[in-house]
Chains A and B, each alone.
Chain A
Amino acid sequence: MVSRLHRALIRDLWHLRGQVIATALVVTVGIGAFVTMVSTYQSLARARTDYYATYRFADIFASLKRAPDSLTASLRLIPGVAAVQTRVVEDVTLSVPGLAEPATGRLISLPGAVAGAERVNRLHLTAGRYPSPRSDEEIVASQTFARANALSLGSRIGAVLNGRWKVLRIVGLALSPEYVYEVGPGMVVPDNKRFGVLWMNAEGLATAFSMKGAFNDVSLSLARGASSNDVIDALDRLLAPYGGFRAYGRADQPSNRFLTDELGEIEVNATYIPAIFLAVAVFLVYTLLARFIAIQRSQIALLKAFGYSDRRIGLHYLEFALLIVGLGMLAGLALGGYFGAALIGVYQRYFHFPILRYRLSPSLFGFALAIALGAALGGSLTAVWRAVRLPPAEAMRPEPPRSFRAGVLDRVGLMRRLDTVTKAILRNIARRPWRATLSILGISAAVATVVVGRFMFDAVNALMAVHFNAAEREDITVTFNEALSRGAVTSLGELPGVLRVEPFRAMPALLRAGHREKRVSVLALPPSGTLRQLIDARGRRIDVPPKGLVLTRKLAHLLAVDAGDHLTVEQLDGRRREFTATVVRLSDEPIGMNGYMDADALAGLLGEDAPISGAVLQVDTRREPELFASLKRTPAVAAVSIRSATLETIRDIMNRSFILMTIVMTAFGIVLVAGVVYNSVRIALSERGNELASLRVLGFTRVEVGQLLLGEQVLLTLVAIPAGCALGALLCRLLVPAFDRELFRLPFTLTGATFGFASLVTLGSAAAAGCIVAERIARLDLIAVLKARE
């Protein structure tokens, strides 16, 4: 007999396959999203841990002006230090074959000619070899940079090394744990064409930069249990006499920082998206099962009359829920595995690991199973309990007629003005307010999902519009390899195609307020400048005040200061002066984090002749090729950044990664809307089939009956759309802090197009789901209603 019950179960599932599939699909998406996010997170985290451990990623990093190699011994003696690697690191301008504009290369010295000679931050050689011991022209290039520029072993790159033109030859390609995310100085997104890391022999590099027997960069690893802060303090003390900039830990190491932020973002997505879907799945399982049990009242009574125990009957219906959810879970695991692997594929383009394997851990299966089980139980317990409690005699009788009473709407007389169909729809909603509410919540969640899926587009567009139209309006930024006098402005102005030159000085500085401190650049700007501007929250220009400091709001927040407060500015280059400045006001540029001062005011405080470290240029785009050609060979130029290239890179990344996100989230939203609407309408049809058929008998057309059937969902959907837009906006608002980073801050922006898109997607999928069910109106058995109740 037990097998009979099981056979009945399979038959019932088949009979209700439409609703079973709709419910299972929502579970699929919930579990799928969960598995996608968590497996991606685990795969990336695992790849990072392995990479860092195998290739000895350093724990502490510091750069300095210049220190003799003899200092290395003292560094090794710092308590808690396990290994020390000193290097020479220099940013230079590169002339890459096939690239019109100059690129920036970061030259890093290699301590030995064989792999593994580096005590920390070991290279992972993917092709070729290390430079031969005596060579001063052989280099190992970052594989990412080489690929982006179609360079290979043997390719040659021109570089300006300390003012001298030099041709470098690629003999090896490599990856480094320091550059998993290979961003250049001041870049928000990686531009692998225009920034790349190059490793060469220590001797050759030191000779070129007059650094023989000296170093300007230290990486070190910590012994187990050592305090990172103590080591940083000790290191800073030792390096201070040698022009040491503040040392920092992994948390502030740019590549690692990006990776950590990204992992954090995945973690956020891994919680709220699956939660939405599984909550809706619980609701769908509940309504489906409750209706199913209502239909099977007489069968339940019969089974009880035959002597089946309450437990057995309860289990029967529980199995029904478990099978639906189980089905969804299995599909969800497959979907999650597929999307997870695809997502890892996308990450592989931005994060460069020697091995980034997609892994689905067995514990994740267990976790997904537990979640699915929870959803099945959550959705079925009340309904099953009701079936079990049904006394056999009562269960034998048909379901009692649904009772309606005049509601609030009737009492205030609102109903009188409505047509009868609308009245019927409104009363149906009012009779089961919780069911209507849950439907609205389900559909709203779908709308919100679609809105969230497009949020990144809107936010990044808004960020770019504000930043590049109001704050950084220059065409080209030129950074010198050392501070120059103001006369350099004239020389730059004489370069071909340059229309306007505005100098700046970027002074590395440590800002201190109380016990808080932050290493940033203090940008000294001319008050008359219009290319690089300070802006307020609405993107309007702020004048550089003649005295005092302007801070980026994020920086002020990190230092816990506001306008009117004082802080200490410690110069980290040059004469290392220290002075106190007043924060005059805060600025709101969305990218980067700086202090700003009037150029003359800063020069006055430092007692200097206002040197400049770079300039922003406005250029005639038609003469760019000539300009680029001369910049590539200008000795004083360390880096050139081109606005149009940055914009292009950001757009490219948006198009590649955000579109996937939008498509996936939109698909999820469609599944959710369709699942909720399809199930609701199927249940309505099951409950009201006889009434509707009798109206057909009385001459109502299919369309008229369809209105009665679908009207409720139309109304609920129309309520859910604005609610969902609001919910989506709220979710995005909650996501914004996750993107409030030192490097950039996403504004909370959603466009009308996004809301319109979400509304249309919702309406479309609701209409499609409704129409699929409405198709069944044609199949209503008109003859049967003349005879029977069920």
Chain B
Amino acid sequence: MRARGVSKTYRLGEVEVHALRGIDLELEDGEFVVILGASGSGKSTLLNILGGLDTPTHGEVRYRDHLLSGADDRALTRYRREHVGFVFQFFNLLPSLTALENVELVTEIAQNALSPREVLERVGLGDRLRHFPSQLSGGEQQRVAIARALAKRPDVLFCDEPTGSLDYPTGKRVLEVLEQANRELGTLVVVITHNAAIAQMASRVVRLSSGSIAEVRLNPHRASSEAISW
């Protein structure tokens, strides 16, 4: 995945906001990338553009043969459908479907999907398949959401503050699942977070500041999710 000279400008009422200013970034398959930055640094905007939810004002974004910059809704939907998984800060599961069914909902539209049951077992929810979201804890719901994202075997998994609404032990459990997916499925994982501790797990850390890349740091000694704490 390659971003070249990506800028994003919003109009907020009378004011022009430069959320991103000339970002150049290349992400390789199998990486675990953590994007750090303060509020308003542009990290969410970058994630949205890389994830095909938004298009840049200037610059070019490519994923394999997909040109994302300037693409229309149909093309972006196809990109997300075929290649991308998302994990949200809030889980947004369908309350009317069980854990298993929430995952099945996604595998039904995917080609080459994993077995929903297996993915849920992998995230440690093998015994909660028939529970509805309202019967699951926050951490369990987040893991269903991750399973839902992983089940279609995405090439890229984007996570926006995946531990943001979880308590410490649950947050750690979720990170373990992300790590496992990166390791076992070779998924490119991109996490944006305030939480600098998570950066220890990354193979690469990107720090954003005022819409520009302030620092890119390779991390040759990745810590396991068990080893980190915050």
Contact = CB atoms under 8 A, between A and B. Distances in A.
Nearest to B78: A699
A424 interface: yes
Contact of A699 (B80, B90, B93): B80
A694 B77 contact: no
A778 B74 CA distance: 11
Interface residues of B, number: 42
Interface stretch (A488-496, A567-575, A671-679, A780-788): A780-788
Contacts, number: 109
A698 B85 contact: yes
Interface residues of A, number: 36
Contacts of B51: 697
Given A402-B134, A403-B134, A704-B109, A786 B86 contact: yes
Contact of A420 (B73, B81, B101, B160): B101
Given A423-B101, A786-B86, A699 B44 contact: no
Contact of B94 (A405, A406, A691): A691
B177 interface: no
B10 to A, nearest CB: 11
Given A404-B96, A431-B96, A699 B53 contact: no
A778 B73 contact: yes
B89 interface: yes
B92 interface: yes
Contacts of B85: 698
A307 to B, nearest CB: 32
B38 interface: no
A786 B132 contact: no
B107 to A, nearest CB: 9
Contacts of B134: 401-404
A265 B73 CA distance: 57
B97 interface: yes
Interface in A360-417: 401-406
Most B-side CB within 10 Å, residue of A401, A428, A698? A698
Contacts of A696: 77
Given A401-B133, A778-B73, A783-B54, A698 B86 contact: yes
A427 interface: yes
Interface string B192-225: 0000000000000000000000000000000000
A424 B148 contact: no
Interface string B19-33: 000000000000000
B106 A698 contact: yes
A558 interface: no
Given A699-B109, A700-B81, A788-B90, A423 B97 contact: yes
A402 B77 contact: no
Main secondary structure of the interface of A (DSSP, over half): helix
Contacts of A782: 53
A690 B79 CA distance: 21
A787 B95 contact: no
Contacts of B54: 783
A105 B48 CA distance: 88
A697 B53 contact: yes
A402 B104 CA distance: 20
Nearest to A694: B92
A420 B93 CA distance: 13
Nearest to B192: A786
A783 B88 CA distance: 10
Interface in A113-155: none
Contacts of B78: 699
B97 A424 contact: yes
A433 to B, nearest CB: 14
B109 A700 contact: yes
Contacts of A785: 88, 90, 92
Contacts of B130: 406
B96 A424 contact: yes
A778 B104 CA distance: 24
A515 interface: no
Contacts of A698: 80-81, 84-86, 106, 148-149, 152
A427 B97 contact: yes
A404 B99 CA distance: 12
B105 interface: yes
Contacts of A695: 94, 105
B155 interface: no
Interface string A653-693: 00000000000000000000000000000000000101101
Contact of B84 (A405, A424, A699): A699
A420 B95 contact: no
Given A404-B132, A699-B84, A786 B160 contact: yes
Contacts of A691: 92-95
Nearest to B90: A789
Contacts of A693: 92
Interface in A759-790: 778, 782-783, 785-789
Interface in A151-198: none
Contacts of A697: 51, 53, 80, 86, 88
A8 interface: no
B176 interface: no
B155 to A, nearest CB: 12
Nearest to B45: A783
A421 interface: yes
Interface in B120-165: 130, 132-135, 148-149, 152, 160
Contact of A424 (B73, B94, B152): B94
Interface string B33-50: 000000000001001100
A638 to B, nearest CB: 77
B118 interface: no
Contacts of A402: 95-96, 134
A699 B157 CA distance: 13
Nearest to A785: B92
A428 B106 CA distance: 19
A786 B134 CA distance: 20
A344 to B, nearest CB: 53
A431 B105 CA distance: 19
Nearest to B88: A786
Contacts of B47: 786
A417 to B, nearest CB: 13
Nearest to A415: B101
B82 interface: yes
Nearest to A699: B81
Contacts of A406: 98, 130, 132
Contacts of A421: 105, 108
Nearest to B148: A698
A437 interface: no
B105 A690 contact: no
Nearest to B159: A786
Most B-side CB within 10 Å, residue of A421, A428, A697? A697
A271 interface: no
A693 B93 CA distance: 11
Interface of A: 401-406, 419-421, 423-424, 427-428, 431, 688, 690-691, 693-702, 704, 778, 782-783, 785-789
Given A401-B95, A783-B44, 7 more contacts: A420-B104, A428-B96, A690-B92, A695-B105, A697-B88, A778-B73, A786-B44
26 contacts: A402-B95, A403-B132, A403-B134, A404-B133, A404-B134, A420-B97, A420-B101, A423-B97, A424-B97, A427-B97, A695-B105, A696-B77, A697-B86, A698-B84, A698-B149, A699-B81, A699-B84, A700-B77, A700-B81, A701-B81, A704-B109, A778-B73, A785-B90, A786-B53, A786-B86, A787-B89
A-B complex: 3 closest residue pairs judged by Cβ atoms:
A699-B81, A694-B92, A403-B134
